[in-house]
């Protein structure tokens, strides 16, 4: 039997499970809120064209209003000034969009400290247990933050000192960008960087260094807890927006059930 025929039958008999890592898109899907004087993205919105009425008696359809960086979405390298000459979202290689994914779970530490920053030693400890990060694959950074993803306030967790959401330390972002063979970093938070990443050096190190290295980001993932530490196959489907800096994306993972 061919590999794809085997895969089809494995999906049919549920020995391979398809996990949806995507947040649903509604007008209340949380979006990033930058402080003054920066410009912000819009919320997702449906604008009805017709609904089986005089505007179109037999059909229902909408225009959609959305930012590129709304809900579960892909950050293309050209999203950041460090990657401005890099690929746009329509140019991201298909081999990046269908690729292995590993999961590093820091949710226990994040539960104690929402400002937790992932360190190189945390990733190296993960590698000591599970093997090297996948060549051409994704590191999915589990923080438990998807628990808050239905609520803008809890998701951004802002107080008078700023947004308190987990991220990656600057030296770890540099190491992931420059010293590891991954093609992207996926997170459960509104962006790949910590809520207070403006204070790091460089500011927004995941954006600056990972996109600057021609790699991609993936945000607002759900259900990462259903994935094994290694062995999942990620399928990322951003819209091919020509010249775009990112796109809302349906993100699926294929997971082999323990036999
Ligand atoms: Mn983004």
pLDDT, tens digit, 9 for 90 and up, residues 103-132: 999 999 999 999 999 999 999 999 999 999
Q: Is residue 131 part of a domain?
A: yes
Q: Is residue 86 part of a domain?
A: yes
Q: Residue 126 Cα, ligand 1 centroid: separation in angstroms?
A: 26
Q: Is residue 61 part of a domain?
A: no
Q: Is residue 58 part of a domain?
A: no
CATH number at residue 179: 3.50.30.50
77 Cβ contact list (under 8 Å, min separation 6): 83, 86, 87, 211, 212, 214, 215, 216
Q: How many structural domains does the chain have?
A: 1
Q: Is residue 177 part of a domain?
A: yes
Annotated catalytic residue 79 = yes
Q: Is residue 35 part of a domain?
A: no
Q: Residue 30 Cα, ligand 1 centroid: separation in angstroms?
A: 12
Distance CA 88, CA 85 (A): 9
Distance CA 64, CA 71 (A): 14
pLDDT tens over the chain, length 259 residues: 899 999 999 999 999 999 999 999 999 999 999 988 999 999 999 999 999 999 999 999 999 999 999 999 999 999 999 999 999 999 999 999 999 999 999 999 999 999 999 999 999 999 999 999 999 999 999 999 999 998 999 999 999 999 999 999 999 999 999 999 999 999 999 999 999 999 999 999 999 999 999 999 999 999 999 999 999 999 999 999 999 999 999 999 999 997 6
Q: Is residue 51 part of a domain?
A: no
Q: Is residue 73 part of a domain?
A: yes
Distances (CA, A) of 204 to 86, 145, 182: 18, 19, 19
DSSP 33-64: -PPTTS--PPPPEEEEEEEEETTEEEEEEEEE
Q: Which structural domain, as residue segments, surrounds residue 124?
A: 15-25+68-256
């Amino acid at each position: 039997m061919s590999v794809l025929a085997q895969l089809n039958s494995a999906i049919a008999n549920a020995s391979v499970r398809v996990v949806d890592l995507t947040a649903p898109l509604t007008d209340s899907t949380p979006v990033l809120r930058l402080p003054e004087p920066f410009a912000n993205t819009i919320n997702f919105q449906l604008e009805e064209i017709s609904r089986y009425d005089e505007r179109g008696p037999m059909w229902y359809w909408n225009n959609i209003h959305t930012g590129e960086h709304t809900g579960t979405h892909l950050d293309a390298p050209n999203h950041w000034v460090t990657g401005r000459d890099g690929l746009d979202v329509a140019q991201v290689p298909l081999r990046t969009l269908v690729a292995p994914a590993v999961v590093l779970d820091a949710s226990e530490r994040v539960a104690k400290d929402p400002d937790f920053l992932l360190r190189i030693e945390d990733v190296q400890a993960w590698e000591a247990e599970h093997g090297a990060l996948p060549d051409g694959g994704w590191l999915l950074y589990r923080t438990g933050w998807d628990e808050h993803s239905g609520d803008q306030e809890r998701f951004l967790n802002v107080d008078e000192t700023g947004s308190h959401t987990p991220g990656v330390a600057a030296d770890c972002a540099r190491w992931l960008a420059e010293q590891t063979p991954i093609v992207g970093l996926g997170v459960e938070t509104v962006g790949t960087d910590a809520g207070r990443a403006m204070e790091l050096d460089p500011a927004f190190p995941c954006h600056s260094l990972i996109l600057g290295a021609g790699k991609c980001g993936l945000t607002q993932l759900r259900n990462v807890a259903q994935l094994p530490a290694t062995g999942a196959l990620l399928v990322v489907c951003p819209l091919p927006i020509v010249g775009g800096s990112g796109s809302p994306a349906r993100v699926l993972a294929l997971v082999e059930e323990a036999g």
